[in-house]
Amino acid sequence: MSDKFPKPVDPPRRVLMGPGPSDVAPQVLAALAAPTVGHLDPYFLKLMDEVQQMLREVFQTKNKLTLAVSGTGSAGMEACIVNLVEPGDKMLICVNGVFGGRMADVATRYGAEVMTIERPFGEVFTADEVQQAVKEFQPKLVGIVHAETSTGALQPIEAISKAVHAAGALLVLDCVTSLGGLPVKIDDWQIDAAYSGTQKCLSCPPGLAPVTFSDRAVEVMETRDSKVASWYLDMSMVRNYWSDQSRAYHHTAPINMNYGLHQALRNVLDEGLENAFTRHQRNHLALRAGLEAMGLNYAVAEEYRLPMLNAVLIPNGVDDKAVRSRLLNEFGIEIGGGLGPMAGKTWRIGLMGEACTQRNVLLFLAALENCLHAAGHSISPGAGVGAANEYYAS
């Protein structure tokens, strides 16, 4: 081929231990490469039904309106908000990181009257705080992030859900990072709308956004006074495309991305949800043991730490970007830097889905020790790997 054309796609092999995307299983990559069929082909329609059923199992819900939005997790966020918000509706949003702030921005763009309550990055909300804000503002919707990817903080939900519903509001949950790696109990917690992404603990490339809506949320949609502000994300039309009763063409779904999600969900359910949750927690605790043995501290209180997204404080005098660059270029390991007020102060180390393995924990700790030594940070040789191995042995 002539030199005037770009070279063929040949990306480097990375170990994806950042805030997402995560490593993708070979079976999922193979599914993505399967022959494309039409978006109304009987084979694809059957596959859509199976994707819906498996999503219900992973979301732990019986919600009929459960599907994969064509778009990344941010499209899932917009789908949940735009279908439930009408101009002038009140929405209370809990902001303790970048993605709570993004939810507030999205709601404002669709005409909601938004009130926010805030906690510093890395902290979580109490049910009393939310209850007081709901009492004061009397919103139609409350939005909160279950697993804040920007900070590594896990938000307890059950008591907050009770406070929200006692006030007659709907609860919208961001579980982009938690789905598949932590319990997400949509029915038990009485979540009215939730959204996620494929590229975190489901270990599928980014491109689809699992969403689920309760019967109560569907009733709100069906009694709207105005059209949904987004044609593309209007569930009154999209759900007919995903209906097993009467298929109505809405848009051309990303066929092969749905193949990939189908296989990724099969992988999660084949492992078993509880086994997946245990694996994420076990490797998180081994990583924690290694990091602490190297003198690194977490940015989040122990009881609120995410197992799949470990936010640790960068040691004094260590250059954030230099270490991350060396990890990537010399060891092929990607981790994330801090966002917002945590920028330059924290590293975000992901243990998500396919990347959440004992091999990756030990590999990363050894590589980080090498980088920290080069940066002039004193560590006992092998301390991190040794502590992690002791944890695994115990």
- DSSP letters, 193-262, are EEE--SSSTT---SSEEEEEE-HHHHHHHHT-SS--S-STT-HHHHHHHS-SSS----S---HHHHHHHH
Give the separation between CA 295 and CA 384, rounded to whole angstroms. Answer: 9
Q: For residue 60, give the 3-state DSSP assignment.
A: coil
Q: What is the pLDDT of residues 87-100, one digit of tens each?
A: 999 999 999 999 99
Residue 43: per-residue pLDDT: 97
Give the rounded distance of the alpha carbon of 76 from its chain centre.
11
Residue 345: per-residue pLDDT: 97
Which tokens in the block code for residue 247?
């298929």
Give the separation between CA 240 and CA 248, rounded to whole angstroms. Answer: 5
Give the separation between CA 236 and CA 359, rounded to whole angstroms. Answer: 46
Give the separation between CA 255 and CA 102, rounded to whole angstroms. Answer: 29
Q: What is the pLDDT of residues 14-32, one digit of tens each?
A: 999 999 999 999 999 999 9
Residue whose pair of structure tokens reads 């191995």 in the numeric block = 389
**Helix (H), strand (E) at residue 47:** helix 42-59
Residue 244: per-residue pLDDT: 78
pLDDT tens, residue order, the chain (394 aa): 567 889 999 999 999 999 999 999 999 999 999 999 999 999 999 999 999 999 999 999 999 999 999 999 999 999 999 999 999 999 999 999 999 999 999 999 999 999 999 999 999 999 999 999 999 999 999 999 999 999 999 999 999 999 999 999 999 999 999 999 999 999 999 999 999 999 999 999 999 999 999 999 999 999 999 999 999 999 999 999 998 777 888 999 999 999 999 999 999 999 999 999 999 999 999 999 999 999 999 999 999 999 999 999 999 999 999 999 999 999 999 999 999 999 999 999 999 999 999 999 999 999 999 999 999 888 999 999 999 999 999 9
Predicted TM-score (pTM) of this structure? 0.96
Residue 350, strand partner residues: 309
**Which residues, at least 6 apart from 382, have a Cβ–Cβ distance to it below 8 Å?**
369
Q: For residue 336, give the 3-state DSSP assignment.
A: strand
Residue 317: per-residue pLDDT: 93
What DSSP letter does each residue of 124-140 carry, written as one string? ---HHHHHHHHHHH--S
Query: Residue 353: left if φ>0, alpha if ψ -120 to 50, beta else—which one?
Result: left
Cis peptide preceding 120, ω within 30 of 0: no
Across the chain, the runs of DSSP E, i.e. the strands, are: 15-16, 65-70, 90-95, 113-118, 141-145, 147-148, 153-154, 170-174, 193-195, 208-213, 309-313, 333-334, 336-337, 346-350
Share of the chain above pLDDT 90, in %: 96
Give the separation between CA 198 and CA 69, rounded to whole angstroms. Answer: 10
Give the separation between CA 195 and CA 63, rounded to whole angstroms. Answer: 13
Residue 2: per-residue pLDDT: 63
Residue 108: per-residue pLDDT: 98
Q: What structural domains and CATH numbers belong to the chain?
A: 34-270 (3.40.640.10), 273-393 (3.90.1150.10)
Give the separation between CA 48 and CA 264, rounded to whole angstroms. Answer: 14
> Which amino acid, one-letter code, is at 127?
A
Which tokens in the block code for residue 374?
């080069």
Angle, CA 265 vertex, CA 262 and CA 268 arms, to 5°? 155
Q: Say if residues 334 and 328 touch (Cβ distance below 8 Å).
A: yes
Residue 194: per-residue pLDDT: 98
Average pLDDT of the chain, as a whole number = 96
**Helix (H), strand (E) at residue 310:** strand 309-313
Give the separation between CA 233 and CA 225, rounded to whole angstroms. Answer: 17
Residue 248: per-residue pLDDT: 86
Q: Say if residues 238 and 69 touch (Cβ distance below 8 Å).
A: yes
- The DSSP output letter for 394 is -
Output phi, psi for 325, to 5 deg.
-65, -40
Q: What is the pLDDT of residues 245-284, one digit of tens each?
A: 778 889 999 999 999 999 999 999 999 999 999 999 999 9
